[in-house]
Amino acid sequence: MAAPKPFSRLISHVILDLDGTLLNTDSVVSKVVKPFLVKNGKTWDSKKAHKLVGKTPYEAAAVVLEDYGLPYSTEEFLSMITPMFSEQWCNIKPLPGANRLIKHLRSNGVPTALASNLPRSNIEAKISCHQGWKESFSAIVGGDEVEKGKPSPDIFWEAAKRMNTTPSNCLVIEDSLPGVTAGKAAGMHVIAVPSVPKKTAEFSTADEVINSLLDVKPENWGLPPFKDWIEGTLPIEPWFISGPMIKGFGRGSKVLGIPTANLPAENFSDVVSEHTSGVYFGWAGLSTRGVYKMVMSIGWNPYFDNTEKTVEPWLLHDFGEDFYGEELRLAIVGYIRPEANFSSLESLIERIHEDGRIAERALDLPMYAKYKDSPYLRNPLQQ
């Protein structure tokens, strides 16, 4: 990810986008639009979903109508689809790091605004589903409260005005190109957290590009730093997945000299989609062998340029033999770093071994070690 560009003065205020930045709206869009298309004899194409990112509801509706050739006006389509979205709003989960960031800014007295192309009423309804969110924002600005939505700077100017500060004092965090464009046009500093995979090169106008909100470094912008990192690791709310070990690309031992293997991500695609790509660690259970320390990557592995998101665990134990086909149960308890590209295979291998050493040490800490006894590692049905 790109490092932040130098800036001339300290940041005092933060402005956050909502959909795609704080909330994982992708799954809800699919749940609502997909069945609607089926009823109209069309097939949902997930590869077209990126066209909706950063759009106002009206603009997004127009894109769907054009892409799928639906026989409705934009107004008719919105009147049918909006109630369906409203029913799902409280099912939208925060993106990794969202709750942590909001709580951190509030507890450190950093004035924070929410600025979205959504109508103000939609914003209010969505954040009401998340405890502590509404009272954490000094100002909330919707797309219907300004003359033009993003990529126009109007929303961000209005947010700064309501917080009684100047644009140059503000740091914007956005997931979309229209949002980044709007933030820069407003004269603000901008962190991009791209919600569309493998598109980071398109965000070169941002001051910093990061993989997820887990990677926000407030101290880079003169803001109070997080204090929850422990020995190079970030504790996370544990999550659990299981599946048979598969050979996948077969490159773990052959190319890297490291016995990694793939889990079939399609078996738990919904769970994996909720978590950002990156390097994690935790415990791995094999019913016939025991429980072991493990480190794993989730993502597209930029060095090998995967076309599909994969889950590749490395059990930190010398088994002396393959055990492909056996069911592997994982308890993921911590985060190490974002997914990254490397200039050479040697540097990739060196970093994987470093990740392994970090995980090995961290898992001896009581806060992580306690999960070794999780019933899930021996029986997934008990979780």
Q: Which residues are catalytic?
A: 17, 19, 312
Which of 181, 213, 161, 188 is CA-nearest to residue 117? 181
247-248-252 Cα angle (round to 5): 70
Strands 170-174 and 139-141: unpaired
Instruction: List residues bridging with 312 in a β-sheet.
Output: 297
CA angle 92, 96, 97 (to 5 degrees): 120
| 58's tokens | 């009206």
Residues 336, 297: Cα–Cα separation, whole Å: 10
- Contacts of 55 by beta carbon, 8 Å cutoff, 6+ apart: 63, 117, 178
Cis peptide, bond prior to residue 366, ω within 30 of zero: no
> What is the distance of C-alpha 207 from the center of its chain?
19
Look up residue 250 and give its two tokens: 């077969």
Task: Please calculate the CA angle 101-104-108 and round it to the nearest 5 degrees.
Answer: 145
240-257 CB burial, b ≥16 within 10 A, e <16 = bbbbebeebbeebeeeee
How far apart are the C-alpha atoms of 133 and 40, rounded to whole Å? 37
- What is the distance, to the nearest Å, from the Cα of residue 224 to the centroid of all Cα atoms in its chain? 22
